[in-house]
Amino acid sequence: MRPTAFGGKQLRAFDRSWPGLTAAPAKPPRPLGGIASDALVRHLYVHLPFCAHRCGYCDFVTVVGRRGQHAGYVDGLLAELELERELLAPELETVFLGGGTPTFTEPRELERLLAALPAAAEVTIEANPETVTPALAELLRRNRVNRVSLGAQSFQPELLGVLDRVAGPDDVRAGVENLRDAGFDNISLDLIYGIPGQRPSDLAADIGEALGLRPEHLSCYELEAKPGTRFTHAHGEELRRQAEAMEGYFECVVEMLIGAGYRWYETANFCRAVGGRDLRSRHNLAYWRGRDYLGLGIGAVSTVRGQRWRTTPRLGPYLAALREGRRPLRELELLPDSVQREERVMLGLRLDEPLPFAAVAASVDAEALTRLERLGLAQRVSLGDGEPPAAPGALTLTPQGRLLGDAVTADLLA
């Protein structure tokens, strides 16, 4: 780790989770003349770091308060977008505004940003329930946002308290209602399980409440005690103690949601499987399928043509660089073919769709695969393109294997 990349202490603290990258104010990959359009990036992530306060468990790049800087930050994002525009395809598939709390951004500035972003088939924004007023829902709708991911986390007031969340259960219900009223037909709810003190009945109640709101999509995360967070400091010991008692929670979540008619399409993600609509998150599918993506804003990560870079998480230097028309500092990581293959396996096996085998075969340990097949954790399946059944061309994990996905993947990789 070279903290000199961005200079200050802040990065060092932030950077603990970021593996050792080459520190350099990286130039983005230069588009070659006459490059095919599919080499252009079709997925855009925009980071809006502002939050009313920082939740104890959060280790994202966030900026608390600083209302006065929202306008300057949107200026910065738009300037950065201009600098990188040549990487983007003329028509984007997805735009995702994540945070922070994107909906905490000053409405005027949020609207200015949304209006200036390129159009896309799916435009998602993350929102905290308490910020979703009828006016905000209207603003999002009018600016082509067609998917909202709402951070509900739990419906139990005392568990929300443990997480430092501001919103109460009623805020979540009101937020969903406001979005529906504004015409949103693609709402995702985030739930967190494994909260210190959470009993199995709390978990069942949370899922029941969430299902009652009939979201098109659900993301369910186990609470991770990330090193260095206030939360880990306060509750880490307790989390370790209850780890065994709660290890069945994941299974329980999966069973309940599948039972309610949801598709478990990614390790932590579920979508309604009715009415012929594909309600999977198209933006996140792009990550899991190994597509290129461009990230704008502080701390945002981009992966484009074998290079990955993360922009400085420091607001001041980020804005200063863009005011001067320069790219902000970045950490650069080169992804050789072998690493790209490994990532394809690692991400692809999180999905319920088969992973085409040929492209990753060189990184898969055939013996391990046979062993995992025998244990009923992995299976080779047909790609369904008329290949002979003797030569199944794709790989997938069984439901059991998906629960143990990290260990299975570690075994599978050669």
Partner 1 sequence: MDLQRIRNFSIIAHIDHGKSTLADRILELTKTVSGREMRAQVLDTMELERERGITIKAQAVRVNWKGNELNLIDTPGHVDFTYEVSRSLQACEGAVLVVDAAQGVEAQTVANAYLAIENNLEIVPVVNKIDLPQADPDAAAAELAELVGGKPEDVLRISAKTGEGVADVLDAIVERIPPPSGLVSAAAPPRALVFDSSYDQYRGVVAFVRMVDGAFAAGEPLRAMAQGTRFEAEEVGFFSPTMKAAETLGAGEVGYVITGLKDVSRLRVGDTLTSERNPAAEPLPGYKDVKPMVFAGLFPTDSDDYPDLRDALERLKLNDAALFYEPETSQALGFGFRCGFLGLLHMEIVRERLEREFDLDLLVTAPNVAYRVLERSGEWLEVHNPAEMPRELDAVEEPYVRASIIVPKDYVGPVMELNNDRRGRFDHMEYLSPERVLLAYELPLAEIVLDYYDQLKSRTRGYASFDYDVAGFREGALARVDILIGEEPVDALSMIVHRDAAYSRGKALVERLRKEIPRQYFDVAVQAAIGSRVIARETVKAKRKDVLAKCYGGDISRKRKLLEKQKAGKRRMKQVGAVEVPQEAFLAVLNLNDGSKK
Q: Would you tell me which residues interact with partner 1 (CB under 8 A)? A: 17-19, 21, 45, 220-222, 224, 247-248, 250-251, 267-268, 284, 287-288, 293, 295, 299-301, 303, 308, 310, 333, 339, 342-343, 346-347, 350, 371, 375, 377, 402-411, 413
CB of 384 to partner 1, least distance (A): 26
| Residue number, 139 or 264, with CB nearest to partner 1 | 264
Residues facing residue 94 across a β-bridge: 43, 122
| Residue number, 17 or 201, with CB nearest to partner 1 | 17
- Alpha-carbon distances of 43 from 7, 86, 292, rounded to whole Å: 30, 13, 7
* Cα gap 149→349, rounded to integer Å: 24
CB of 361 to partner 1, least distance (A): 18
Give the pairing of strands 217-222 and 394-397.
unpaired
| Residue number, 186 or 303, with CB nearest to partner 1 | 303
CB of 181 to partner 1, least distance (A): 29
Q: Angle 279-280-285 (CA atoms, 0-180°, nearest 5)? A: 155
* Cα gap 405→119, rounded to integer Å: 35
| Residue number, 19 or 325, with CB nearest to partner 1 | 19
| Residue number, 186 or 267, with CB nearest to partner 1 | 267
CB of 403 to partner 1, least distance (A): 5
CB of 275 to partner 1, least distance (A): 26
> What are the tokens at 382?
């047909």
**Cβ neighbours of residue 404 under 8 Å, at least 6 residues apart?**
377
| Residue number, 112 or 344, with CB nearest to partner 1 | 344
* Backbone torsions φ then ψ of 66, nearest 5 degrees: 55, 45
- Grouping H, G, I as helix, E, B as strand and the rest as coil, residue 175 is helix
* Cα gap 262→85, rounded to integer Å: 37
| Residue number, 20 or 157, with CB nearest to partner 1 | 20
CB of 332 to partner 1, least distance (A): 11
Give the pairing of strands 147-153 and 187-193.
parallel
Q: Is the Cβ–Cβ distance between 163 and 142 less than 8 Å?
A: no
**Cα torsion through 70, 114, 175, 129, rounded to 10:** -40
Give the pairing of strands 43-48 and 22-23.
unpaired
CB of 249 to partner 1, least distance (A): 8
